[in-house]
Structure 1
Amino acid sequence: MFTLTRIETATQDVKKSRFLAIAAPIAEEQAAKDFLTAHSDVTANHNCWAWRIGQAYRFSDDGEPSGTAGKPILAAIDGQALDGVVVVVTRWFGGILLGSGGLVRAYGGTAALCLRAAEKIEMIETVRATVAVDFSDMALIKARLLARNVAIVGESFTDKGPVLSLDLRKDEAETIIAMVVDLSRGKAVVSLDD
C-alpha cells in the first residue's frame, strides 16, 4: 500500500463543466472531515469526495445521481493501492448534461488524474521491540542492526548493558530478533511492544 506525501491537485474540463480534484494524505477520520471542510468550494455546484483509511472508507455524491461521483473517486483511490488518502472533486456545471456514464468517467477520471500525478511513498507496517543486551555484545549488535537499516529509536543503559528501542518492519521482525539472539549467544532479552 502507498500514501501521498503532500497535497496534490488536478483539473480538467468535460463538456464545459470544470472539475477540480484535490487529494491529501490523512491519518484519521477527523483529518478527512477537516480537509473536506477546508477544500470544498461553496460556490461550486457539487463537492463530491471519498476517503480511505485502512478498512474504513466513506464517500459522497453531494447531489449528483447516486453512485456517479463518490464511488468512482473511491475506485480511483483503491485502483492505485492507496491508503490514508482523501480526495474531493469539485464541479462547476457548464450547462451540458453528462449523463450517468459521463459523470462516472469525469469524477473518477479527475480523481485518478490527480492521484497519478501525486508523489507517493510506500506504507510499511512496523512493530516496536525492546532489546536488552550485554555491554560486550553492544557494538556488534548495533553494527548489524544498522547494516540491516533497522531504526534504533531509543537507547538507555542498565548496569548490564544497553536497552535498545527498535522500529522493525513487521515482515522482518522475526528474522531481526533471531539475529540479535544469535549474536548475543542467547543472552539478549527481547520484548515486542503492543
Structure 2
Amino acid sequence: MERYQTVYQGASAEITEKKSRFIAAVFPVSSEEEATEALENIKKQYWDARHHCWAYVIGTEQVTERFSDDGEPGGTAGKPILEVIRGQKLYNVLVVVTRYFGGTLLGTGGLVRAYSSACKEGLAHSTIITKIKGFKLKIQTDYNGLGKIQYILGKDDVPVIEISYAEQVELIVLEEKEREKRLRFEITEGTNGKAQIERIGICWFAKVNQKTEILEEE
C-alpha cells in the first residue's frame, strides 16, 4: 500500500451519556508494543475508571486488528470502536475509550452508540493525514522553461519543497510513484527536452495543516 490514511497527531475528547463519562484517546502507533505502552499509560492516567475499552489497526500490508471490551458486555465497546476506525479507513492507529460509570445502565444499544460516538469525537479532534509513498525529484531548468514547469507542477498539485536560483533554476519536488512517468513526460514535452529531471530519493510524505512535509525517507 503506497497511499493510506492515518493519524498524524492524536487527541482526546469526551462525551457524556446518562451521567457516564466516555473519554476517547487517539494515538498514532506503528507496532503492537507501542499500542500496549499507550494503553498502559491511559490506565495509569485514569486509574480509578471502571473500563478502558480499545481497538487498533496496525500495518498496511499485513494488517493486525485487535480490540477489547474490558468488562463491558461482549460486542458493545471494542468492536464498535474498531468499526469506526475501519469506517474511516485508518491504519496505524489506536483508540482507547475510558468509561466512568454514572450509575445508570445504558443497555446494549446505548453502549454501542456511546463508544462509537466517543471514538468518532476523538478522531474528529485528531489530525488525520493521507500518507503517500513517492519520489523526491530534482528538476533543473533555464529561466525560459521555469514558467512552463511551474504551470505543470501547479496543475498537477505537485508539492515544491525547495527552489534555488543561480545560472539555472533548481527545484526539489515530491511526486507519487504512479505519477512520476507522466510528470517527466509533461516537463520534457513542455520544455522541449531542455529540463533535466533526476530522482534523488524515496520518501513518505503528506499534507499537514496545508503544508506538505516529508515524514520518512528511505
- In the superposition, the TM-score normalised over structure 1's length comes to 0.71
RMSD, aligned α-carbons: 3.6
Equivalent residue, structure 2, for 1:178: 185
1:99-125: CA deviations, max 9, x gaps? Answer: 44443233223223433x425544152
TM alignment of 1:1-194, pairs within 5 A = 1=5, 3=7, 5-14=9-18, 16-24=19-27, 26-29=28-31, 30-40=33-43, 41-53=46-58, 54=60, 55-115=63-123, 117-118=124-125, 120-131=127-138, 133=140, 135=142, 139-140=146-147, 142-144=149-151, 146-148=153-155, 149-153=157-161, 164-170=171-177, 172-186=179-193, 188-191=196-199, 193-194=201-202
User: Aligned letter for 2:132?
Assistant: E
CA distance in 1, matches of 2:29, 2:185: 32
Deviation at 1:176, TM superposition (A): 1.9
User: Aligned letter for 2:30?
Assistant: E
SS of the residue corresponding to residue 47 of structure 1 reads: strand
User: Aligned letter for 2:49?
Assistant: A
Q: Does the 8 Å contact 1:138/1:161 carry over to 2?
A: no
CA distance in 2, matches of 1:120, 1:95: 34
SS of the residue corresponding to residue 86 of structure 1 reads: strand
Deviation at 1:178, TM superposition (A): 1.8
Deviation at 1:72, TM superposition (A): 0.6
SS of the residue corresponding to residue 125 of structure 1 reads: strand
CA distance in 2, matches of 1:56, 1:192: 33
Q: Does the 8 Å contact 1:7/1:23 carry over to 2?
A: yes
Q: Which has the higher strand share?
A: 2
CA distance in 1, matches of 2:14, 2:92: 19
Structure 2 unaligned segments of length 5 or more: list them: 203-218
CA distance in 2, matches of 1:75, 1:106: 13
Count of aligned pairs between the two proteins: 190
- In the superposition, the TM-score normalised over structure 2's length comes to 0.65
1:40-95: CA deviations, max 9, x gaps? Answer: 32211111112234444332222333332111111122223444432211112344
% of aligned pairs identical? 33
CA distance in 1, matches of 2:131, 2:38: 24
Structure 1 unaligned segments of length 5 or more: list them: none
Q: Does the 8 Å contact 2:54/2:94 carry over to 1?
A: yes
Deviation at 1:145, TM superposition (A): 5.3
Q: Does the 8 Å contact 1:72/1:107 carry over to 2?
A: yes
